Amino acid sequence: MNSLFDKFAEAAEKRDSLSQLGTNPTQVVMERAIDATTAQINGKPTILAGTNNYLGLTFEPECIDAAKHALTQSGTGTTGSRMANGNYADHVLLEQEIAEFYGYPQAMLFSTGYGANLGTLAALVGPGDVVMLDADAHASLYDGCKLSGADIYRFKHSDPDSLDKRLRRLGDRASSALVAIEGLYSILGDYPKLSEFCDVCEKYGAMLLVDEAHSLGTMGEHGRGLSEAEGVLNRVDFIVGTFSKSLGATGGYCVSRHEELSLFRYTSRPFIFTASPCPSVVASTRAALKLLREQPERRERLWTIATRLYNGLSDLGLTLGPQISPVVAVRCHSAEYAMSVWQRLLAEGVYTNLIVPPASPDGSSLIRCSLSAAHTDEQVEQIIAAVGVATAGQNAT
């Protein structure tokens, strides 16, 4: 007799194989957060080299004080959606500040970054519409497209020529297509030539959505992401992102140069039926956004140590992602080897991310590091040394 639980057999096998490592990578417990770059794991201080805390703002006094004040003024939660009873003054202020930050007329706030992609895509496209997705696009972009009911086509990762061929095959439908790509891809730390994607979209009349989740705060002169870094903010139609990385909070957003974004709140089910972000999170996010704008030295520091880590790991003879960025990935020749390297790194006091199929975009296995502006030079050297110990005597690739 079949059971609803039969589908979980494969998941159980994966769980059991991971548990054989001694510490299951999916169940690591940070027993105590010490600061922005250190936590107690398995009873000892551990360098956090896989948390996406790019600007190191999670323990910033201004952000913590803002959250505390909001708790006393507005309570712990909204207990409702923006459309019902959860629309607070700070939600509106954060939307205004995000829109002004990008120089766009409209912004829309979501409860999570995942929800921002679901909510934007569910409102923007529907049955009969076409979405062109980068082959390595984040799961939230795929899920948003599935929720919308639009026709989904994939093109080769970061390949504008592949997109051009796909749009050409659409014929007249190309002029109403949406192209979705990312600013900084979170697994290998690579980023596309965004201006070339703008050229292709403009050639066919398609709209362009850029997910800047990992590039907000890390790229561009003012931290507005790859769109700013390449000077194409006026050519991108929609930018989505999250507050859970560079801004050290939770929540997500969509900004656009199109006034129609203001109508999404009436049609986006993930927005309409989700409780709005709690006041303390909105307050800390506003404080973090202010610091992002006022302290460009954090971003400069981040790239300095990212370059040091990338070059240091390259000097070990390891194969890394194709570009230097705050995300540094070490390719491994097998999932089993990647698991053993991850375990050794944890034993050396360095927490990283283990990525194995099917989570990896190209079927490879790798160890992923993400740096923070709060990492010290000594910590970066410790990470390099730990990777050297974990991979000693074996070629990772």
**Annotated catalytic residue, options 91, 138, 157, 245:** 245
pTM for the model stands at 0.95
Is residue 175 part of the annotated active site? The answer reads no
**Annotated catalytic residue, options 140, 148, 158, 186:** 186
Is residue 245 part of the annotated active site? The answer reads yes
Provide the token pair at 245: 């990385």
Is residue 222 part of the annotated active site? The answer reads no
Domains and CATH numbers, the chain: 4-58+296-390 (3.90.1150.10), 61-294 (3.40.640.10)
**Which tens digit of pLDDT belongs to each residue from 168-211?**
999 999 999 999 999 999 999 999 999 999 999 999 999 999 99
**Annotated catalytic residue, options 214, 215, 268, 276:** 214
Predicted confidence at residue 394, as pLDDT, reads: 57
**Which tens digit of pLDDT belongs to each residue from 308-322?**
999 999 999 999 999
**Per-residue pLDDT tens digits of the chain, which is 397 residues long:** 678 888 888 888 877 777 776 778 888 999 999 999 999 999 999 999 999 999 999 999 999 999 999 999 999 999 999 999 999 999 999 999 999 999 999 999 999 999 999 999 999 999 999 999 999 999 999 999 999 999 999 999 999 999 999 999 999 999 999 999 999 999 999 999 999 999 999 999 999 999 999 999 999 999 999 999 999 999 999 999 999 999 999 999 999 999 999 999 999 999 999 999 999 999 999 999 999 999 999 999 999 999 999 999 999 999 999 999 999 999 999 989 999 999 999 999 999 999 988 878 888 899 999 999 999 999 999 999 999 999 986 555 5
